[in-house]
Structure 1
Amino acid sequence: MQDQAHAPRGPGSDPSLLLVDDDEIFVTRLARAMEKRGFVSRTAVSVADALALIRDKPPAYAVIDLRLEDGNGLDVVEALRDLRPDARIIVLTGYGAIATAVAAVKMGATDYLAKPADANDVTSALLSDREALPPPPENPMSADRVRWEHIQRVYEQCDRNVSETARRLHMHRRTLQRILAKRGPR
């Protein structure tokens, strides 16, 4: 039995946690790490699996990957928010764009973390006080990365049309093509 002093505090002191990610190794490892922190974890590797688990027993906490093989993690966020409005939901993704973060929060996510995030980052986000500002990140995005994220967001909003994106960003099309051909800065 868990010591109450180490159990996570939250909605009704319910330590139930749903982890949704299509990377089975990652989600299994994260589940073990979160159980060591007092959570009772269940895992899903698809939107369909996650929705079934939510209908069965909506968890108090959830960490949901945004891009899953069978759909969008925001569908899981919306379903959980409908069934359990007090749930603390973290959207975790490798595609950390500002537009996606805004969409996740509007859908009902409590916070948004970009991969790679470890169990400590996830625990801090799940248990943070809603009223207080979180501490500044240990490794914030560089200015080059923020610029690259903005370009990627506009590019996606323009349906991946390079000419239209270049026009909206007031940028030469070839310059934009060179930027898009490179990997994003760290």
Structure 2
Amino acid sequence: MTLDFLLVDDDEAFSTVLSRALVRRGFRVECAANGAQAMQARMPAPLRIVLDLNLEGESGLRLLPDLRQLYPQAAVVVLTGYASIATAVEATKLGAVQYLAKPATVDDILAAFQQVSANPELPLAPQPMSLRRVTWEHLQRVLNEHDGNISATARSMGMHRRTLQRMLAKRPVKS
């Protein structure tokens, strides 16, 4: 017997809603609120893992290699409310099959597990990213290069740490 889904998300309400929706569709689901719970020995092993990028202030990207090692047969989809190109690239490098921005529906999540290979038919964006979006992407890339250390990121960018914190506290711009 196998576990169909392991949901790793610190948002209890979101996990409950997603879990119920998956169970209604006939899947077996287990939830973990943090990395420690996700890493506990489980029988049976999950086939699919939905991993939140932000787990109680920690990056789910740090947990991803450990999950891939513990559950090598499992496909991982990273789900986040703070999507950026830098974290999407890093997630796929670390073994995620897809990267979805919240809000994502159950159908979106199930479709992400179906598409594990590249899709060259995806349409190109109709227009380039705005300057504000490019700035957000750059901040995320530099923050990722400094392993999430805001002080080191601020120093490397020649700005005050609190200014960077204020910029990062805002939601990413749409385009």
What TM-score, normalized to structure 2? 0.74
For 1:36, the equivalent position in structure 2 comes to 24
For 1:152, the equivalent position in structure 2 comes to 139
Amino acid in structure 1 at the alignment position of 2:86: A
Amino acid in structure 2 at the alignment position of 1:98: I
Counterpart of 1:85 (choices 72, 75, 78) is 72
SS in structure 1 of the partner of residue 36 of structure 2:
helix
| TM superposition shift of 1:136 | 4.5
Instruction: Tell me if the contact between 1:15 and 1:38 (Cα under 8 Å) persists in the aligned partners.
Output: no
Instruction: Tell me if the contact between 2:80 and 2:102 (Cα under 8 Å) persists in the aligned partners.
Output: yes
**Distance (Å, rounded) in 1 between the aligned partners of 2:107 and 2:77:** 13
**Distance (Å, rounded) in 2 between the aligned partners of 1:96 and 1:66:** 9
Structure 1 regions of 5+ residues with no counterpart? Answer: 1-12, 167-172
Instruction: Tell me if the contact between 1:34 and 1:123 (Cα under 8 Å) persists in the aligned partners.
Output: no
What TM-score, normalized to structure 1? 0.70
Matching of residue 161 in structure 1 with residue 154 in structure 2:
yes
Structure 2 regions of 5+ residues with no counterpart? Answer: 147-151
Instruction: Tell me if the contact between 2:9 and 2:33 (Cα under 8 Å) persists in the aligned partners.
Output: yes
Instruction: Tell me if the contact between 1:17 and 1:62 (Cα under 8 Å) persists in the aligned partners.
Output: yes
Amino acid in structure 2 at the alignment position of 1:31: S
**Distance (Å, rounded) in 2 between the aligned partners of 1:154 and 1:16:** 33
User: Identity of paired residues, percent?
Assistant: 37
**Distance (Å, rounded) in 1 between the aligned partners of 2:129 and 2:118:** 26
How many residue pairs match? The answer is 162
For 2:173, the equivalent position in structure 1 comes to 185
**Distance (Å, rounded) in 2 between the aligned partners of 1:78 and 1:181:** 25
